[in-house]
Amino acid sequence: MNYGVTSRKGFYLDLFYVIFFDYLILLIGFYAFTSTVEYFFKELLGVFGITKYILWDMQDVSFLIQFLVVFLLLDLLQFFGHFLFYRIDLLWKFHKIHPAQEELGFAFTRHFHWAEYLTFKPLLYLPFMTLNFSVSEFIAIYLWVGYGFTFFSHCNVRVPWKWMNYLLITPETHYWHHAKNRPEGRRYAVNFASTTTIWDHLFGLFYLPQEDTLSPDLGIDDQKNIPHTFIGQMIHPFKELFDTQKKKHSPQSVKKLKKK
């Protein structure tokens, strides 16, 4: 992509997102909400008389096995969650703040709606809870596995990654995830990988054109509706939800339902 690091569209807003998420959301909110999820899940199990929820105590196995299981499990969960954010309309209203950007760079990696981090992300802890990992250990794992790769995948670097594209998430493949010009017949995005591309290959969602003339056209179809300010982007999903409910209960919609 032919634009500068700091001169690209939205760079300073993205930089604010990095500060906002890494210091307020990840360091404070993420831990608090994950602990809340743990508490209520244990209470729910207690209602059904379930007191033993550890299915496999990972603390008793070697570090190598722990690493492989944790890495693949977290990678699969993030892949599946990412996929759902594109397929479920309610989730898409919040997630599309991220792919709406037309120019990407390293700072863009934290350009998400806060609701995505504080509702969906803490739920990823539940499988790790059954493996006897504490909230602190889970958050350390989450940051360690995904932190560097998310910055890397959004970088605007002109490097041919060649065989690495088929093993790990790279800017070359992830830019196609953010593209509006999707492959023919693909209604939704491709390349949902968080770290490895194994799940994209397994589920037929990997895409990397071989033609040198093709390049990704970044953004989303309703690009013009996304605000350009932080506050505007935080409010936008709730406004869309309100407008959707308003249309459903409008006199015209009620008449159509009665006719059916």
Structure confidence by residue, pLDDT tens digits, 87-128: 999 999 999 999 998 888 877 888 888 888 777 888 889 999
Measured CA distances, 179 to 32, 214, 220 (Å):
34, 11, 7
d(CA 133, CA 38): 11
3-37 pLDDT per residue, tens = 665 667 777 788 878 777 766 776 677 788 889 88
Output the CA torsion sign for 15, 149, 216, 191. negative
pTM for this model (two decimals): 0.82
